[in-house]
Structure 1
Amino acid sequence: MKRKLAGLAVLTGMAAATTLLAPTSPAQASVGLYRVAATSVLDATNAKTMAISCNGVDQVVGAGGRINDGQGDVLMTRVYADATLHTVTVLGVEANATNVPWSVDAFAVCAPAGAVTGLQLVTTTSANNALDKVGITAVCPPGKKTFGGGYRIDNANAAVAIDELAFTSALGSVSSTAYVFGAPGNFTLQTQAFCAAPLPAMALTEATSASNANSPKSMTTPACPAGSQTAGVGAVLTGLTGAGSVATLLPKPALDTAEATGREIVAFATAWNVKAQQVCVG
């Protein structure tokens, strides 16, 4: 049945914001990252896929996506880069049938050719079964740091919710978690890390919303330090465990902040929160 979700949560002094610095050198000028975006058709079709590519031979260092007007009935089950780190693809599928028009945004944060050294895609895929997938982690090789990350669920029949795409404070790995809320059958969850030689300035900034039963909740990170830009975007939902999902991973157009949104899939009376993360590089 179609649900009416509560209005956007009012975030007060209860929300927390932090900047966690990775062990790198002092800041320098921006490396010239830029954002490209694309939006799918707006209608009630289930499902929708949207892809966006970097210019020329430039490569993806960060990925993001957003479900527009889905009201919690639509899951963002994939936000991932292709093997060459050139294109980001986002998939939205209906968990609850809806006749309300909705659309999908895809975002790629791109690095000009030569701006980032040793960029590579690292992936880890879960076991293929019908269980929750918790903390599926992609680890960067020694000497490299995480600039961004992504995830993809396969064969879940719109019955599995992404609960987090999370970066560590040391920027050494990316983890994703998916919870079963229906009858998916066997499915897999893949986590992606976009890894490269560290830049002189790298930091993880994050902010956590108030914890209450309101839905949806959106949170925006603190701004990147001077001279750096947003690369990766993450989100962590705490307290929903399958009753909601990540609906937005948004690198803002100026690449100075990032936004994350969580939405309930089914009515949920218990308090929960969303933490937004961004990887700042420069």
Structure 2
Amino acid sequence: MSTKLLARVALLGLAAMAALTSVAAPATAVPNLTRTSATSVADSTQTKEALAQCPAGTRVLGGGGTINGGGGNVHFIRLQALGSTDRFAAAAMEDGNYPGSWSVTAWAICGQQPAGLTYVSFVSPDNPDEHKDAAVECPDGTVAISHGVRVVGSTGHVVIGGFGPLAPTGTKANATEDQHGEPADWDLWAHAVCASSLPGQQLVWADDIPADSNPDIVTVNCPTGKRVHGLGSTINQSFGEVFHVALVPNAALTAVTATAIEDSSGAAFNWWTRVYAICAF
């Protein structure tokens, strides 16, 4: 075989190897995926909200929150991706007149706009019912890549029990009045961030089982090579006396940790927490 022919065969072999390498490498679901945060003032005001802004050129995909302080007397009333401003809102409220200082931190998951991105919501009736559920479905051809929840109208005695996946195509949420009862009419919102299915999209979760009355700190990790794009968490058997105080994607966006506690008066029953992460390449 001539020297020229050998060289041509070698070049063809390298090209074939490069093509195989390109096919084997997973696509990036959302370029420039990142986490940002913002924290409210720390004082004894009854209600606080923090808004974590996404960097220019990116969209808000999901997020979480942390209640800093509160002594078991402060719970979330909002964890929501705001598609109109590309911020993630985390709001919390005292369940009475808590004299101490506390603050709330919002964590936003941001990235370049995926195909089919849209934000959908559903609100329950506004009335004095003790317990409410809400659910929302994504538009045809899209799936949920993150979840959100909001309570509106409460004076502090409605506790979010959880929010998370409704199959792959939506969000379900629930909330219940605490043991003191809520004198005002209130409503519950379920929020979903929807998009075309991301490359390698996968829902994973972790539980803190068996049920007991101890604080839960439970972490779910994405499979190797995948990153968190959205999250959710549910407290089973909350009954308005157990709530989240943190739901945080880590800095590398490879894991989500949920922390749940009983209110300051305790709960006379056992309960457990499940945390969700929506992962993709």
Please indicate the TM-score interval, normalised by the length of the shorter structure: 0.7 to 0.9
TM-score by length of 2: 0.84
Name the CA shift for 1:53/1:120 in 2 (closer, same or farther; >3 Å). Answer: same
Cα distance, 1:252 vs. partner? 1.0
Name the counterpart of 2:138: 140
* Cα pair 2:62 2:80 within 8 Å, conserved: no
The letter of the residue matching 2:157 is A
Q: Taking every aligned residue pair, what percent have the same amino acid on both sides?
A: 28
The letter of the residue matching 1:153 is V
Name the CA shift for 1:184/1:229 in 2 (closer, same or farther; >3 Å). Answer: farther
Name the counterpart of 2:153: 155
Name the counterpart of 1:172: 169
The letter of the residue matching 1:146 is A
Whole-Å separation in 2 of the counterparts to 1:51 and 1:215: 31
Cα distance, 1:139 vs. partner? 0.7
Q: Which runs of 5+ in 1 are unaligned?
A: 1-25
| Residues 21-60 of structure 1 mapped to structure 2, 5 A cutoff | 27-29=26-28, 31=30, 32-60=32-60
Q: Secondary structure at the match of 2:159?
A: strand
Moved more, 62-71 or 153-162: 62-71
Q: Does 1:272 align with 2:268?
A: no
Cα distance, 1:133 vs. partner? 4.3
Cα distance, 1:27 vs. partner? 4.9
Cα distance, 1:80 vs. partner? 1.3
* Cα pair 2:60 2:83 within 8 Å, conserved: no
The letter of the residue matching 2:74 is V
Name the counterpart of 2:184: 185
Cα distance, 1:142 vs. partner? 1.7
| Residues 67-146 of structure 1 mapped to structure 2, 5 A cutoff | 67-84=67-84, 86-112=86-112, 114=113, 116-146=114-144
- Cα shift readout 1:22-61 (whole Å, capped 9, x = no counterpart): xxxx954463311101112223232211111111131111
The letter of the residue matching 2:262 is E
Cα distance, 1:270 vs. partner? 1.2
Whole-Å separation in 2 of the counterparts to 1:212 and 1:184: 31
Q: Which runs of 5+ in 2 are unaligned?
A: 1-24
Please say which structure displays the higher CA radius of gyration.
2
Whole-Å separation in 1 of the counterparts to 2:108 and 2:148: 11
Name the counterpart of 1:255: 253
- Cα shift readout 1:158-204 (whole Å, capped 9, x = no counterpart): 11000001114x42111110001222421111111000011121111
Whole-Å separation in 2 of the counterparts to 1:95 and 1:82: 25
Cα distance, 1:96 vs. partner? 3.4
- Cα shift readout 1:109-159 (whole Å, capped 9, x = no counterpart): 0012x4x11110010000111114443111111211111121111111111
Whole-Å separation in 2 of the counterparts to 1:147 and 1:58: 15
The letter of the residue matching 1:94 is E
- Paired positions, count: 253
* Cα pair 1:27 1:228 within 8 Å, conserved: no
* Cα pair 1:129 1:188 within 8 Å, conserved: yes
Cα distance, 1:98 vs. partner? 2.1
| Greater length-normalized contact order (CA 8 Å, ≥ 6 residues apart) | 1
The letter of the residue matching 1:179 is T
Name the CA shift for 1:71/1:210 in 2 (closer, same or farther; >3 Å). Answer: farther
* Cα pair 2:133 2:188 within 8 Å, conserved: no
Whole-Å separation in 2 of the counterparts to 1:92 and 1:272: 22
* Cα pair 2:61 2:81 within 8 Å, conserved: no
